């Protein structure tokens, strides 16, 4: 197993997911309902998305190396641009208002399934899913990338559910977004260099 791929994936996915709408939704659900129930649904939803992203990335890895590096570079740059354009502190606060209301007395099944559903709908085609597919294609180690992406997403989900509002007081959302975008630009540059240099 490629531990560098695992750690890189964990870090990039963690940073990319922090300002995401699913983290905000997890935060709100965690403030309204039992956090462990919410986490069960969120963790299952993220795991399904990682499997899909790693499968897509594994298919991309069938492309010859130099064209693949060029595609990965373009996708990382696109991801960085999308992240910078679509995330801001005001947007995160607006999305926090949109979490579903399950009603009083909701049990484990209802809370977990709703949390799972929120992640399943919100993560399709999401930046972290695209980044995970890119990293799976780049490293050619689906297990390491899958574990790294899953751990990164679960860590963000847990942080959001348990104490997301406190984290945002320590690290401003715009700073998290800029750091994640910078990491993606650096990864794009490395991929582009490999595409050109061979």
The answer to the question of residue 115 being in a domain is yes
The answer to the question of residue 78 being in a domain is yes
Q: Which tokens go with 125?
A: 């085609």
Q: pLDDT tens digits for 52-111?
A: 999 988 887 677 777 877 877 777 677 677 656 655 533 444 444 444 455 456 789 988
**Dmax over Cα atoms in the chain, in whole Å?**
60
Residue 35 pLDDT > 80: yes
Q: pTM of this prediction? A: 0.68
Q: pLDDT tens digits for 114-171?
A: 889 888 877 776 778 888 988 998 888 999 999 999 999 999 999 888 875 565 567 6
What is the domain range of residue 80?
Answer: 3-92+107-197
The answer to the question of residue 186 being in a domain is yes
The answer to the question of residue 101 being in a domain is no
The answer to the question of residue 137 being in a domain is yes
Residue 13 pLDDT > 70: yes
pLDDT at 94 (0 to 100): 43
The answer to the question of residue 86 being in a domain is yes
Number of domains in the chain: 1
The answer to the question of residue 102 being in a domain is no
Q: Which tokens go with 153?
A: 């997403």
The answer to the question of residue 98 being in a domain is no
């Amino acid at each position: 197993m490629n531990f560098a791929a695992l750690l890189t994936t964990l870090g990039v996915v963690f940073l990319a997911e922090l300002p995401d709408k699913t983290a905000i939704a997890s935060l709100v659900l965690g403030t309204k309902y039992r956090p462990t129930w919410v986490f069960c649904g969120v963790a299952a939803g993220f795991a399904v998305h990682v499997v899909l992203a790693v499968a897509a990335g594994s298919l991309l890895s069938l492309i010859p190396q130099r064209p693949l590096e060029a595609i990965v570079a373009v996708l990382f740059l696109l991801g960085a641009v999308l992240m910078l354009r679509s995330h801001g502190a005001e947007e995160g606060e607006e999305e926090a208002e949109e979490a579903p209301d399950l009603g009083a007395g909701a049990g484990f099944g209802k809370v977990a399934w709703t949390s799972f559903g929120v992640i399943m709908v919100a993560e399709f085609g999401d930046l972290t899913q695209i980044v995970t597919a890119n990293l799976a294609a780049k490293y050619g180690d689906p297990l390491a990338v899958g574990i790294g992406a899953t751990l990164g997403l679960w860590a963000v989900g847990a942080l959001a559910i348990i104490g997301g509002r406190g984290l945002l007081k320590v690290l401003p959302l715009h700073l998290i977004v800029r750091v994640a975008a910078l990491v993606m630009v650096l990864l794009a540059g490395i991929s582009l260099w490999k595409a050109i240099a061979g």
